[in-house]
Amino acid sequence: MNNAKRLIGTLVLLALFGGALFFALRSNDENRLIAQEQAAIASAEPLRGMITVEMEPLFKDERVIRALAQAKLPVQVARVGSRDMAARIGGADQPDFFLASGVVAANMIADAARKAGKAATQTSPFHTPLVVASWEPIAKILAANGIAKPGAPRVYALDMEKLTRAMLAKQRWRDLKASDDYAVSRSVLVSTTDIRRSNSAAMYLALTSAALHGDVVADRGAAVKYAGQLAELFKRQGFQENYVNGAFDDYLSIGMGKTPLTFIYESQMLAQAQKGGVRPEMVLMYPQPTIINKIVFVAMSDRARLLAERLAADKTLQAVALEQGFRTGDTAAFTAAAEKAGLAVDVRMNQVIDPPGFDLMFEMIDIVSREMNQ
């Protein structure tokens, strides 16, 4: 009997020891795997990218940094103007990827890559329409003159043909009907960025030329004609910011007196609203038609293509982009974000055009730039 008890005790001890040994070994294996994974994450070679100013906040966000590190796709980015990116193809400083603002600049990069015999793929993880940020008194004046039409509260449709012709006719605010709330002598003009540097100003040229032409400019004769006419709309503005962030800052800080109409990306207004920084008298005016500005990822390597897939599909990255005002493939999430921020937006976007092809677009930009340099 005593022998049996001793045997049972021994077996129990062996079982306990074996179990402890099993769990210890498993714990060691798990710790080793975790250590190996952390080492792999830490040693992952950063992808070098060139990005536009609008994308800087995304890549500075700690959640994005962590998510990309976990995916072994850390990045090192430098801010470069979209139209300067194509010149980096084939050079010693060619990056793994570009994140360009607009299809015109992206196609220019892709064309440069093709000529250099390099593979490049394009995807668009985020987009945002071009809009005019304005003020309720200004919007009501334009509506009284048939240039704007109210939609939802604090949302207006802006007739680009009527507005463009009023600007070219040098109409002044005080000469418009029902202008008592802004009876100033300054000309009716939309404030833009410097077309020599900025994508948003180029898209303004694309919209105003389409307004005069009745359609997207598609031939060189029309491009030369309308660029020559529209150059004065840029010259008469005076000083212009190089980047759309600067123009939007003027709108926010100085107000209606300096910037009654400011050409911006919708994403800027939504990002500001989500921070609680949009005042009740601020309104969004959607040009009819407008242009959807795509943020285009141009991948120059296999790992960069993996990063492009991650930007388009990762829920964390998409959520951060939404916080910064960009539209993604999830319309319901965008609508909910705008409603939560208290910002009225045009969700449907029924009237949208594309800009001219990049050869024509850059010829038009060049014509306006030469006029501004005189």
- Hey, what are 266's tokens? 């919708």
| pLDDT of res. 223 | 97
The residue from 25, 43, 61 where one domain ends is: 43
| pLDDT of res. 93 | 82
In a shared domain, residues 143 and 175: yes
In a shared domain, residues 355 and 222: yes
Which has the closest alpha carbon to 318: 65, 72, 125?
A: 125
Which has the closest alpha carbon to 266: 136, 126, 169, 168?
A: 126
In a shared domain, residues 327 and 352: no
Tell me how far apart the alpha carbons of residues 231 and 293 are, in angstroms, rounded to a whole number.
22
In a shared domain, residues 289 and 174: yes
3-class DSSP state for residue 337?
helix
| pLDDT of res. 90 | 87
**Contacts (Cβ under 8 Å, ≥6 apart) of 340:** 274
Question: Looking at residue 46, what DSSP letter applies?
Answer: P
Tell me how far apart the alpha carbons of residues 73 and 298 are, in angstroms, rounded to a whole number.
16
> Which residues in the chain come in under a pLDDT of 50?
33-37, 40
E strand or H helix that includes residue 16: helix 2-43
Q: How many domains does the chain have?
A: 3
Tell me how far apart the alpha carbons of residues 211 and 351 are, in angstroms, rounded to a whole number.
13
Question: β-strands 47-51, 155-159: how paired?
Answer: unpaired
In a shared domain, residues 204 and 85: no
In a shared domain, residues 195 and 256: yes
| pLDDT of res. 91 | 81
| pLDDT of res. 17 | 63
| pLDDT of res. 36 | 46
3-class DSSP state for residue 299?
strand
In a shared domain, residues 331 and 253: no
Strands (E), 52-140: 75-79, 97-101, 121-135
| pLDDT of res. 161 | 98
3-class DSSP state for residue 131?
strand
3-class DSSP state for residue 20?
helix
Question: β-strands 148-150, 155-159: how paired?
Answer: antiparallel
In a shared domain, residues 261 and 315: no
CATH number, domain at 187?
3.40.190.10
Full domain range(s) for residue 19? 1-43
| pLDDT of res. 34 | 45
CB atoms within 10 A of CB 267: 23
In a shared domain, residues 255 and 186: yes
In a shared domain, residues 134 and 106: no
In a shared domain, residues 165 and 308: no
In a shared domain, residues 99 and 238: no
Whether the Cβ atoms of residue 346 and residue 155 lie closer than 8 Å to each other:
yes
| pLDDT of res. 40 | 43
